[in-house]
């Protein structure tokens, strides 16, 4: 059984977040990407390609979430 911070678990978490994003479930995608990014930073390091890919995905989803909010 793989733990929550195992690299394969983190990859699955990232992949699920992408599916959530593509399904327009932005809040759940954000939550999962944030959790994945924390795990990848801890396990793989700040500059690992997988960590950087998750950080980029998170930035994209955050930007889309901000764009979709009604202007006050």
Integer Cα distance of 47 and 55 in angstroms: 10
Integer Cα distance of 48 and 60 in angstroms: 19
Phi then psi for residue 31, to 5 deg, are: -60, -45
Residue 57 lies in a domain: yes
DSSP string of 5-68, one letter each residue? TSHHHHHHHHHHHHHHHHTT-HHHHHHHHHHHHHHHHHHH-TT-HHHHHHHHHHHHHHHHHHHH
Give the predicted TM-score (pTM) of the model: 0.88
- pLDDT tens across the length of the chain (72 residues): 889 999 999 999 999 999 999 999 999 999 999 999 999 999 999 999 999 999 999 999 999 988 766 665
Residue 2 lies in a domain: no
Residue 41 lies in a domain: yes
Residue 17 lies in a domain: yes
Residue 1 lies in a domain: no
Total residues found in the chain within this entry:
72
Residue 72 lies in a domain: no
Residue 50 lies in a domain: yes
Residue numbers of the domain that contains 58: 7-67
Residue 33 lies in a domain: yes
How many structural domains are present in the chain? 1
């Amino acid at each position: 059984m793989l733990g929550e911070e195992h690299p394969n678990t983190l990859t699955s978490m990232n992949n699920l977040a992408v599916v959530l994003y593509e399904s327009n479930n932005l809040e759940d995608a954000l939550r999962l990407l944030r959790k994945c990014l924390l795990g990848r930073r801890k396990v793989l390091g700040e500059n690992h390609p997988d960590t950087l890919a998750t950080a980029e995905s998170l930035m994209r989803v955050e930007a889309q979430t901000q764009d979709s909010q009604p202007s006050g």
